[in-house]
A and B are shown apart, each in its own frame.
Chain A
């Protein structure tokens, strides 16, 4: 069974440009999460989808970030326009159902560098 896959694995863009990150969760997983790790710091929650609905987007830094999950399958995270402080590793995770004792499965991450 395929795990969580993210694309691209790396992206280097200039400040002011737009970047779109993609996440394909494990098939059948209704829950999809986006997290971000800025270098040397903790992995921070960005938002949570249940199927195509945003359950919680309290971690989104500002309105330059837009996440979508059309059809409840894959998700995209768009940053427009990108700023230097957006650099970091963006992780996507999925889990099959909402339960406290269900671990989330993570993708390998997308390393975003804004120059």
Chain B
């Protein structure tokens, strides 16, 4: 049962335009959310995060929005650059029942392609 869902396997945008990557979650105990970026043959690299007490966090060209009532978050990249082309993973953590409170639950990822 997937608790973090990224329903778009891929997204293609033009350089300079906005990229919007979406993520939905089902576990209401999640209270911290992260986006990781992954290039081929490399490990995931942390990009940006948001706590459930906020609805927006911005870092340069990257902004994450959180809608708790809808259990939905999105990553906005503006303007998009060709170097942003990578797989983007949404991840969540929180005081889930049992086990480590700090393990990450990932979505399947979205492949973003930014065309020059």
Binary flags per residue of A21-45, CB closer than 8 Å to B gives 1, else 0: 0000000000101010000111111
- Which residues 69-115 of A sit at the B interface, judged by CB distance below 8 A? 91, 93, 95, 98-109
B interface size (C-beta, 8 A): 30
Determine if A59 is an interface residue (Cβ-Cβ < 8 Å).
yes
B93 A108 Cβ-Cβ under 8 A: no
Q: A41-B108, A100-B93, A103-B49 are in contact. Are A56 and B100 (CB under 8 A)?
A: yes
A43: chain B residues at CB < 8 Å are 44, 89, 91, 104, 106
Determine if A62 is an interface residue (Cβ-Cβ < 8 Å).
no
Q: A100-B31, A101-B51 are in contact. Are A109 and B43 (CB under 8 A)?
A: yes
Determine if B103 is an interface residue (Cβ-Cβ < 8 Å).
yes
Determine if A4 is an interface residue (Cβ-Cβ < 8 Å).
yes
Determine if A58 is an interface residue (Cβ-Cβ < 8 Å).
yes
Residue of B nearest to A91 (CB): B43
Residue of A nearest to B109 (CB): A42
A107 B109 Cβ-Cβ under 8 A: no
Determine if B105 is an interface residue (Cβ-Cβ < 8 Å).
yes
Q: A56-B99, A100-B32 are in contact. Are A42 and B4 (CB under 8 A)?
A: yes
| Residue of B2, B31, B45, B104 with highest tally of chain A CB at under 10 A | B104
Query: How many whole Å from B15's CB to the nearest CB in chain A?
Result: 27
Query: How many whole Å from A51's CB to the nearest CB in chain B?
Result: 14
Query: How many whole Å from A32's CB to the nearest CB in chain B?
Result: 11
- Expressed in whole angstroms, the Cα–Cα distance for A35 and B100 within the complex equals 13
Determine if A20 is an interface residue (Cβ-Cβ < 8 Å).
no
Query: How many whole Å from A52's CB to the nearest CB in chain B?
Result: 16
Q: A58-B98, A101-B49, A103-B49 are in contact. Are A45 and B103 (CB under 8 A)?
A: yes
Chain A interfacial positions (CB closer than 8 Å to B): 4, 31, 33, 35, 40-45, 48, 55-56, 58-59, 91, 93, 95, 98-109
Known: A91-B44, A108-B41; 19 extra A-B contacts, CB below 8 A, are A4-B43, A33-B103, A35-B106, A42-B4, A42-B106, A43-B89, A43-B106, A45-B103, A45-B104, A55-B100, A56-B99, A95-B102, A99-B102, A100-B31, A102-B102, A103-B34, A103-B46, A107-B43, A109-B42
